[in-house]
A and B are shown apart, each in its own frame.
Chain A
Amino acid sequence: MSFCSCSGSKNTGLRGGLKPFKDVKLHFAVPLFKADGTRNSILSTETVDQTFLDAKINNADVTQRWYPIGKFKNVTDERADPSTETFNDGSSQITIQGVRTFTGLLLDYPPEYITNLQKHACDRFGVYEVDSCGNLRGVKNSTETQLYPIEINKGYFEPRLVKAVAGTNAERLQLTFEFDQNEFDNNLLMISCDDITADLLNSSGLIDVNATNLTSVSTTGFTFTQETAYNYFGQSVLAEGWVLADYTLTNNTTASTIVITSVTEAPNGTYEFVIPAQTSSDILSITGIKDGLELITFEFSTP
């Protein structure tokens, strides 16, 4: 795709009633590609309602999941002047468009949140933008049948802590990133908030749950405690009320799913698993999702 395409219409008329995209309040970070190599997109035939949004945010496949980031304050999103070549007669020619850079502030986020933000840049990813009206914007394909996330330059995605200054500003995180240089502004297209029934602006991503105190590991069972992330030092908030159907257990050694026999929660937040007998020294991994929480996959070996 090029910004200097000369084919097609040059007409300059514009029908009335089109609303502009307003200030960005939230991003949905989305991997560019699914595990099967196809691109993540919103199809023109899909309706962005709450069911659609919940399925995206809670998708068990991390390569298809949407990760809400925001709401942002003090957003700046500007494209730098283009690079040019200047000739002896003083005239210039544009050689490449300037880089578009986004900066926004995230209030009330702990410093350790930086770690999860940074991980987005481990693979190619993009963002759908949501403005203060609830419009959603991405990049159209050539036939306008798919809306892709806007690709981020994963080499420049920098969340940082900005500490408080007495009387001036509270502590916050600042997220700065560049959009990919192959993203052109003329390909941006939005889904109007009039066509969206999902509550995009108040969406929130899954919260990490970490397994701790793995005990009683045998070939037929194991026990661990579940704690949610982002607590004060020494404090733990347990993830309670999970049941068998919330978990996925895999035998990595045999590359097979294990059908869990039972899960007992006792005391609250601690779960005892009974499973069919596995072979000694097999590597097992467990993960799970429930009510906006995700048990981060962890591996262990049978004795």
Chain B
Amino acid sequence: MKIGNTSFNVEAIKNMTFSEFEKIYKGKYKGNPSLKEVFKKLGGKVVNKIAKKDNTEDK
């Protein structure tokens, strides 16, 4: 899937946590939507850390 000037392998992104995604693409992605929106669009699951008692993320 192409978002902005980046074409992603959706299957590979699905296996990442948002933290992993953010670590790679923060500062690199030049698209208009936020990094979190891009992650969602690619099928990644964003979990609100505050809502989780153990402060972890799901994949």
Contacts and interface: CB of A to CB of B under 8 A. Distances in A.
B28 A243 contact: no
Nearest to A243: B7
A155 interface: no
Contacts of B13: 261-262
A259 B2 CA distance: 16
B24 A245 contact: no
A263 B24 CA distance: 12
B30 A263 contact: no
A124 B11 CA distance: 42
Interface residues of B, number: 14
Query: Size class of A's contact patch?
Result: 10 to 19
A266 B30 CA distance: 9
Interface string B2-16: 100111110111000
Contact of A266 (B2, B5, B7, B11): B5
Interface string B29-53: 1100000000000000000000000
Contacts of B5: 264-266
Contacts of B11: 259
A264 B6 contact: yes
Interface of A: 220, 243-245, 259-266, 272, 274, 276
22 contacts: A243-B2, A244-B8, A259-B9, A259-B11, A261-B8, A261-B9, A261-B12, A261-B13, A262-B6, A262-B7, A262-B8, A262-B12, A262-B13, A262-B25, A263-B7, A264-B7, A264-B28, A264-B29, A264-B30, A266-B5, A266-B30, A274-B25
